[in-house]
Structure 1
Amino acid sequence: MEMEDLVQKKLRSIFNDNNIIFDKSRFAGGLTNYNYIMNINGTEYVIRQPGAMTNLMINRKKEKFNEKIAAKLGINSECVYFDEVSGIKISLFIKNSKNIAKVDPCCHKNLKAVSALMKRIHSSGEQLANSFDWTIELDKYERIIQELNGDFFFDYTVLKNQLIDFMEKNIKNTISVPCHNDTVPENFLVGPNGKTYLVDWEYSGMNDPSWDVAAYILESKLNSKAIQYLLLDYYGKFPSLEEILKIKCYMAAQDLLWMVWAMVRHYSGDDFLDYCCFRYERFQKNVNAIRIWPEYSIADMIKNISSTIAF
């Protein structure tokens, strides 16, 4: 059964109404999955249609457990249905909410809200169902690409190993706390009362908190002033040089990891090639820069370059 048909079947079963049609007219965004807002019996819901190959990339049972932790902390939208097998999820839509990417991910008000929410998660003392190790995730995605008979960029293995070796030698002090691990601005929602939520917990797991900080900086394309504000607010003081280097390494690792994730989607038939090239191009630039130039700034890492790269 096609995933779209399965979603409709689930909707009819859950709401006990065989006349429900899976309405995809109100797209709510998503890369890993596709989310749609539907009004069912007067209530608005977010319907998640899982993307291709996500059953191989995400452990839905662990995601469900972690979602419950986020709900207990009061920072997630309410989930009303979660299918651990298919990945189909139905959540209450937070009325009149907007994601921070559309509002302004760089303004001080939103940076402060993001920082506060991340600190609340990281200091919660909760134990998530799993650990998130980007190298393990990367290995998993690589195996899927090999099974799909896909190719990697010509210098992929060399640059990947250079980054891993550099991190092993220079990143010593890490801790393990509850992390979201996909802190893109689109996942932060601001409700009409000003309350901030963090949704989509499929990559969540125990990790170093600077991974979440690095992800928000990278995915929001923060300028230097916004970066400084976020770092000062989150850490309470300007981070040490070692912590700054850790953030830089995590930014490079995220471009590499999500590029390979996108390659899985590309080789499974989705249109992700431009996304692959954009992230790998930036990774190429940054993995060399952080190894050679200690003064290379976080703001410089966000900038992209135009070049031609090949598999």
Structure 2
Amino acid sequence: MSNPVDLHLAHLQKHLSDYCSPWCKHSVSLVRPLLGGLTNRSYLLQSQGERYVLRINAKNHRQLDLDRRAEIEILQAVGEIGVATELVYADPAEGFLVTKFVDGDPWQRHMSGMTDTISQIAALLKTIHQLDGGGRVMDVRGKSAKYWQAINTDGIRAEKLRAIEQKVQAFILWAENENRSPCLCHNDLLAENIIVADDNRLVAIDWEYAAMGDPYFDLAVVVEGHELTPFFERQLLSDYLGCEPSAAEMRRLQYCRVEYAYLELLWYAVQSSSSPILMPDQLFEERLINLDQRLNSHDSLDANTSME
């Protein structure tokens, strides 16, 4: 049986000019695939001494509630600031975009347990949150509803997620009520979406989930996705706020962590119909149990409690 990666490469080699002729007048060569993406396929290209990244979008982007045109608008707005890769060309109808390649190294997971690098992430988020994000809004309840529309509701994962749905919605509603100052958020700042550039600045890639939203949700993605310890979770929030966080601010972060953990499980449930290997059943079960324990924990404050 043919390797899917080899088939994709063969197809790309055959049709490379179709992807490149709209934005480059010179010959373009395919250097290699870029690994790490869970859904999209990305490739390193080279032309006239310049390097570029071609990203071919996942076919199920509508099921994942992705707005490619909004992503392009955001990249155009933030690319020149230095916190994102510079957009070269995009064709949402054909399902691909091209950005300039950033010289640097991928973020390594062990770096999330270092004081100075946590401060760098906090600074990156503060910069992003001050930028103009356009009109797209991150609606957690709306996104979860769209995920549910794409999930195989007869599957065991859907059954287990449905059992905690009502409890999660109370947390989501509480977090929505506390987000009084929406700002541009990346919403997916995982380790694989951070590049440490050669000049030591952090560059965020893959802005497909970016939208106006809750800055605490962005912080929650980092805490959950980077698996920060309680010590570094507090440091992240402290560095972001510029002061020691209050109990109310820590509580808000905890509730946004619940939001993210739930959306992540829904995302994997959507993907499981085509790529169950992305999160094996055992890991899915462990994450679900952990989320349910947090929902029921006496340490979690009543979702009806209001912050003053």
Alignment map for 1:204-219 (pairs within 5 Å): 204-219=210-225
Separation (CA, whole Å) in 1 of partners of 2:189 and 2:211: 13
Separation (CA, whole Å) in 1 of partners of 2:19 and 2:178: 47
CA deviations over 1:78-129 (Å, ceiling 9, x no partner): 111111123311111112x1122357122222211111111112133x2422
Query: Judging changes above 3 Å, is the alpha-carbon distance between structure 1 residues 152 and 224 closer, same or farther for their aligned structure 2 residues?
Result: closer
Provide the residue aligned with 1:301 in structure 2. Answer: none
Instruction: Judge conservation of contact 1:163–1:287 (CA < 8 Å) in 2.
Output: no
Instruction: Judge conservation of contact 1:259–1:276 (CA < 8 Å) in 2.
Output: no
Provide the residue aligned with 1:134 in structure 2. Answer: 140
Superposed displacement of residue 185, structure 1? 2.0
Separation (CA, whole Å) in 2 of partners of 1:130 and 1:3: 32
Residue identity in the other structure for 1:284: I
Superposed displacement of residue 169, structure 1? 5.1
Residue identity in the other structure for 1:168: L
Residue identity in the other structure for 1:47: L
* Secondary structure of residue in 2 paired with 1:155: helix
Query: Judging changes above 3 Å, is the alpha-carbon distance between structure 1 residues 247 and 102 closer, same or farther for their aligned structure 2 residues?
Result: closer
Tell me which of 276, 285, 291 is aligned to 1:286: 291
Residue identity in the other structure for 1:241: A
Query: Judging changes above 3 Å, is the alpha-carbon distance between structure 1 residues 243 and 283 closer, same or farther for their aligned structure 2 residues?
Result: farther
Residue identity in the other structure for 2:86: E
* Secondary structure of residue in 1 paired with 2:113: coil
Separation (CA, whole Å) in 1 of partners of 2:173 and 2:62: 31
* Secondary structure of residue in 2 paired with 1:206: strand
1:258 matched to 2:275? The reply is no
Provide the residue aligned with 1:75 in structure 2. Answer: 83
Moved more, 133-142 or 40-49: 40-49
Residue identity in the other structure for 1:180: H
Separation (CA, whole Å) in 2 of partners of 1:61 and 1:171: 25
Instruction: Judge conservation of contact 1:66–1:129 (CA < 8 Å) in 2.
Output: no
The aligned length equals 289
Separation (CA, whole Å) in 2 of partners of 1:103 and 1:192: 19
* Secondary structure of residue in 2 paired with 1:75: coil
Residue identity in the other structure for 1:29: G
Separation (CA, whole Å) in 1 of partners of 2:66 and 2:175: 30
Provide the residue aligned with 1:63 in structure 2. Answer: 71
* Secondary structure of residue in 1 paired with 2:89: strand
Residue identity in the other structure for 2:48: N
Query: Judging changes above 3 Å, is the alpha-carbon distance between structure 1 residues 114 and 108 closer, same or farther for their aligned structure 2 residues?
Result: same
Separation (CA, whole Å) in 2 of partners of 1:152 and 1:224: 29
Provide the residue aligned with 1:182 in structure 2. Answer: 188
**Root mean square deviation of aligned Cα:** 2.8
Which runs of 5 or more residues in structure 1 are unaligned?
Answer: 297-311
Provide the residue aligned with 2:47 in structure 1. Answer: 40
Superposed displacement of residue 234, structure 1? 0.8
Residue identity in the other structure for 1:173: E
Instruction: Judge conservation of contact 2:151–2:158 (CA < 8 Å) in 1.
Output: no
Superposed displacement of residue 40, structure 1? 2.9
Separation (CA, whole Å) in 1 of partners of 2:127 and 2:207: 15
Provide the residue aligned with 1:236 in structure 2. Answer: 242
CA deviations over 1:255-281 (Å, ceiling 9, x no partner): 2212222222221x2244535653453
Instruction: Judge conservation of contact 1:252–1:283 (CA < 8 Å) in 2.
Output: no
Query: Judging changes above 3 Å, is the alpha-carbon distance between structure 1 residues 291 and 83 closer, same or farther for their aligned structure 2 residues?
Result: same
Superposed displacement of residue 38, structure 1? 2.4
Instruction: Judge conservation of contact 1:145–1:263 (CA < 8 Å) in 2.
Output: yes
* Secondary structure of residue in 2 paired with 1:201: coil
Separation (CA, whole Å) in 2 of partners of 1:134 and 1:276: 25
Moved more, 156-165 or 244-253: 244-253
Moved more, 150-159 or 76-85: 150-159
Separation (CA, whole Å) in 2 of partners of 1:264 and 1:183: 20
Alignment map for 1:106-121 (pairs within 5 Å): 106-121=113-128
1:53 matched to 2:60? The reply is yes
1:10 matched to 2:12? The reply is no
CA deviations over 1:55-76 (Å, ceiling 9, x no partner): 4431111111111122143311
- With the length of structure 1 as denominator, give the TM-score of the two structures: 0.81
Residue identity in the other structure for 1:36: Y
Query: Judging changes above 3 Å, is the alpha-carbon distance between structure 1 residues 291 and 123 closer, same or farther for their aligned structure 2 residues?
Result: farther
* Secondary structure of residue in 1 paired with 2:268: helix
Provide the residue aligned with 2:4 in structure 1. Answer: none
